[in-house]
A and B are shown apart, each in its own frame.
Chain A
Amino acid sequence: MRRSMAALAAVTLLSLTACATDEPSASPSGSAPAAGSGTGDQSKFFVQADYDAELSLLTATPTGPADKPWEQVLNPKMVDTAKFKKKGPYKICFSNAALNNPWRQVGFKTMQAEVEAQKSRIKEFVHVDAEGKDQKQIADINDLLGKSCDALIVSPNTTATLTPAVEAACQAGLPVIVFDRGVNTKCPVTFINPIGGYGFGHVGAEFVSQKMKPGGKVLALRILPGVDVLETRWSAAKVAFDKAKVDVVGVEFTDGDPAKTKKIVDDYIQRYGTIDGIWMDAGAVAVAAVEAFQDAGKPVPPMNGEDQLDFLKIWKDKNLTAIAPTYPTYQWRTPIIAALRILDGEQVSSPWKLPQPTVTQDNLDRYLDPSMPPLHYAMCGCTDLPGYPQRWK
């Protein structure tokens, strides 16, 4: 009796363990190099021409109103949208990859506020959350096609898997606007995002390799594989680190989770005595990395974070050597603005490249607002929107 029970227990436990580690993000990268072997192979997402273009955009001057970066465009390439011209008010539909991190939460609130600000022109705004699942998003987009939307906004969960669904939406004849993460097709009317991953990854990696001692040990922290904006961040950082001959001792996936991040950083501090630089592809877990050094009684090395307020605060309080390239949440306003312009038959830029400011020691105080919650993002571009600041608190 006990024997069979124990055997049943073992089977149950093992199958559960398998489930628990089924998500791609939960396992360290299959291609991640073993400790000490450097930065590994270049990502299949790396495109030299895009990399060069993005790096040149870092210094380009945007067109458009300077006080509204979400309406600005870098190197505009206007496309005709006359065939989508339609009388309002409109029904705008949005297939969202997920709301599963504070960046997306802040962004989506900003988008909702933009819809509210434009309510005379938008009669209905339909939002469907794919909860981070490709299959659900494919079904969501398919459903939305039958719901007489006037325009469809898509923030894809992963690049390759969502491409056919976006192509199907284009073929249905309504204007499709992709933003945030990309797809492998040119069929949408426009693709809106800031300069992008290469710019983000490059700024952080340049800073870290310049500020640390030559040949020092860098730990690279990534969220998960297979998403273009994240892959390009790492691939640009890899180029910068290889060029600077930095010793990248580890490339680890954190799932964007602070507990996991703190454990990983702690493990590396113990394994190597100390780490001389931290690069990360997204700043949500930056504070956890800082705390790992503090709790181990080690100085916090040069690192990058993002414009999340908890990081900006600890940066100022502890006087860190840090930089915060951003992927501004104000980009969530732009698809709504673009949809309205397209439905008016106005030309829009495709791609629509938004500026991507960097928080540095010099402008830190301008972005640090202690009255907002720690998980808020400074670049929300939301201070003029209805419901500020309560909506974001």
Chain B
Amino acid sequence: MQTVQRRTLPLRLPRVRPGGVLPILAILAVLLVLVGIRQPDFLAPPSLMSFLGRSAPIILLAAGQYFVIVSGEFDLSVGSLVTAQVVVAARLIDSDPTRTWPVVLLLLVFGALVGLVNGLITTRLRVPSFITTLGMFLILVGAVYLWSDGAPKGGLSEEFRRFGRRAFEDVPLLGRVPYALLVLLVLAAVAVLLMRSDFGRTLVAVGDNPRTAELSGVRVWRTRTIAFILSGLAAAAAAILLGGYSGVSFQAGAGLEFGAITAVVLGGVALGGGRGSVVGAMLGALTLELLFALMNFYGVSGALRSTVQGAIILLAVAVSATRSSSR
């Protein structure tokens, strides 16, 4: 299918493969130059490292969201899932370091379970994924409120918090390397390997044309459900890093689903599925965070963040719509 497209658009898009990472790399480079002009200190290794560590949760969420979006669905529940995980972790750990690891395990199981439920409702009960995950969003928000009477209780142990907060200090050249960055690198490598495996190809095929995939023997429902589980797991990992970064919070994940979706479309992944790479999605998240950092350096109000996200989503959809109509 992509060969057809390449043949019809030889002049307009020379050598830039749709869904490739070149455009996002170009945007990233431009932003880096702009940041370098305004705030050269930011590009020094220690602050760059801490920026990457701080951005790790949203990059992980973008990777999780990529699996779902490339398979042709959406996951709007990840932000509330992150909040729920942080609140649950604080209450269960209750500042007792010995409970750290069991709770970490529980969070991963909880994330996978929410993904499984999202996936099964979407694929087996045929509820559109906007509705499924929007419902899940409301369920989680309400459940957390009910369970905690509207204010977080307990506390996270230092051991739990170190993933999101601590770093290897005094590393030659780099200064400090946040644990969050290492967690990110490992999980990103896993995501890339996953997308290169048979599962990855199947996932893209399902998003590109579910009927063709079905006819060629793919169990579409199972593939999509796994994508939702991966998104839930990514949310759990992001929650562990975010909770570590800021401590107990009732709004740890507020708005993160939009951040993740914006990052994914910015990274060249088509809404509707079937096109784009997981590396692109993660670079999209990094670019978005860098854009927000730049807005901060120029003193632009934080309120504009959602405006910028909205504009990016609209622009990306418009571009992909023009492309598909020119087929």
Give A residues with C-beta under 8 Å from B: 2-3, 5-10, 12-14, 16-17, 20-21, 26-28, 34-36, 98-102, 104-105, 131-132, 252, 255, 257-264, 266-267, 270-271, 273, 287-288, 291, 295-297, 310, 373-375
Identity of the chain A residue whose Cβ is nearest the Cβ of B208 in the assembled complex:
A2
Identity of the chain A residue whose Cβ is nearest the Cβ of B155 in the assembled complex:
A374
Contacts of A102 in B (CB 8 A): 151-152
By secondary structure, the A interface counts as helix
Tell me whether A6 and B296 are in contact in the complex, defined as CB-CB below 8 angstroms, given that A20-B254, A131-B150, A297-B46 are known contacts: no
Please, what's the 1-or-0 string for B130-164, where 1 marks a CB less than 8 Å from any CB in chain A?
A: 10001000000000000001111111000000000
Tell me whether A34 and B299 are in contact in the complex, defined as CB-CB below 8 angstroms, given that A9-B271, A13-B258, A14-B314 are known contacts: yes
12 A-B pairs with CB atoms under 8 Å apart are: A2-B270, A3-B321, A17-B306, A17-B309, A20-B254, A100-B150, A105-B153, A258-B246, A260-B251, A266-B54, A270-B293, A373-B95
Identity of the chain A residue whose Cβ is nearest the Cβ of B178 in the assembled complex:
A295
Tell me whether A291 and B151 are in contact in the complex, defined as CB-CB below 8 angstroms, given that A7-B321, A259-B246 are known contacts: no
How far, in angstroms, from A258 to B243 measured CA to CA in the complex?
Answer: 10
Please, what's the 1-or-0 string for B292-326, where 1 marks a CB less than 8 Å from any CB in chain A?
A: 01001101011100100110011001001100110
Q: Determine how close the nearest CB of chain A comes to the CB of B312; give it in whole angstroms.
A: 11
Q: Determine how close the nearest CB of chain A comes to the CB of B318; give it in whole angstroms.
A: 9
Tell me whether A259 and B150 are in contact in the complex, defined as CB-CB below 8 angstroms, given that A7-B321, A17-B310, A271-B299 are known contacts: no
The residue from B76, B270, B299 contacting A16, defined by CB atoms under 8 A apart: B76
Contacts of A9 in B (CB 8 A): 74, 130, 271-272, 317
Contacts of B228 in A (CB 8 A): none
Contacts of A374 in B (CB 8 A): 95, 155
Q: Tell me, yes or no, whether B250 is within 8 Å of chain A by CB.
A: yes
Q: Tell me, yes or no, whether B277 is within 8 Å of chain A by CB.
A: no
Q: Tell me, yes or no, whether B261 is within 8 Å of chain A by CB.
A: yes
How far, in angstroms, from A14 to B261 measured CA to CA in the complex?
Answer: 11
A28/B303 in contact, CB under 8 A: yes
Q: Tell me, yes or no, whether B47 is within 8 Å of chain A by CB.
A: yes
Tell me whether A2 and B293 are in contact in the complex, defined as CB-CB below 8 angstroms, given that A13-B258, A14-B310, A375-B152 are known contacts: no
Contacts of B154 in A (CB 8 A): 373
4 shortest interchain CB distances as A-B pairs? A259-B246, A2-B272, A100-B150, A35-B299
Identity of the chain A residue whose Cβ is nearest the Cβ of B243 in the assembled complex:
A259
A296/B50 in contact, CB under 8 A: yes
Contacts of A267 in B (CB 8 A): 293, 296, 302
Identity of the chain B residue whose Cβ is nearest the Cβ of A249 in the assembled complex:
B299
Q: Tell me, yes or no, whether B98 is within 8 Å of chain A by CB.
A: no
Contacts of A132 in B (CB 8 A): 150
B296/A271 in contact, CB under 8 A: yes
B247/A257 in contact, CB under 8 A: no
Residues 50-96 of B at the A interface (beta carbon under 8 Å) = 50, 54, 74, 76, 95
Residues 253-273 of B at the A interface (beta carbon under 8 Å) = 254-255, 258, 261, 270-273
How far, in angstroms, from A70 to B130 measured CA to CA in the complex?
Answer: 52
Residues 146-188 of B at the A interface (beta carbon under 8 Å) = 149-155, 165
A99/B246 in contact, CB under 8 A: no
Contacts of A255 in B (CB 8 A): 251
How far, in angstroms, from A119 to B155 measured CA to CA in the complex?
Answer: 33
Identity of the chain A residue whose Cβ is nearest the Cβ of B54 in the assembled complex:
A266
The residue from A16, A35, A104 contacting B258, defined by CB atoms under 8 A apart: A16
B313/A257 in contact, CB under 8 A: no
Residue with the greatest number of chain B CB neighbours at <10 A, chosen from A102, A258, A266: A258
Identity of the chain B residue whose Cβ is nearest the Cβ of A264 in the assembled complex:
B302
Identity of the chain B residue whose Cβ is nearest the Cβ of A260 in the assembled complex:
B251
B50/A295 in contact, CB under 8 A: yes
Q: Tell me, yes or no, whether B242 is within 8 Å of chain A by CB.
A: yes
Q: Tell me, yes or no, whether B110 is within 8 Å of chain A by CB.
A: no
A3/B246 in contact, CB under 8 A: no
B149/A99 in contact, CB under 8 A: yes
Identity of the chain A residue whose Cβ is nearest the Cβ of B307 in the assembled complex:
A17
Contacts of B249 in A (CB 8 A): 257-260
Contacts of B155 in A (CB 8 A): 310, 373-375
A270/B313 in contact, CB under 8 A: no
How far, in angstroms, from A20 to B83 measured CA to CA in the complex?
Answer: 14
A291/B165 in contact, CB under 8 A: yes
Q: Determine how close the nearest CB of chain B comes to the CB of A273; give it in whole angstroms.
A: 8
The residue from B242, B272, B296 contacting A5, defined by CB atoms under 8 A apart: B272
Q: Tell me, yes or no, whether B288 is within 8 Å of chain A by CB.
A: no
How far, in angstroms, from A16 to B258 measured CA to CA in the complex?
Answer: 9
The residue from B247, B270, B297 contacting A258, defined by CB atoms under 8 A apart: B247
Residues 96-130 of B at the A interface (beta carbon under 8 Å) = 130
B151/A6 in contact, CB under 8 A: no
Q: Tell me, yes or no, whether B221 is within 8 Å of chain A by CB.
A: no
How far, in angstroms, from A374 to B250 measured CA to CA in the complex?
Answer: 16
Task: A3-B325, A10-B271 are known; give 4 further A-B pairs, CB within 8 A.
Answer: A13-B313, A21-B306, A102-B152, A260-B249
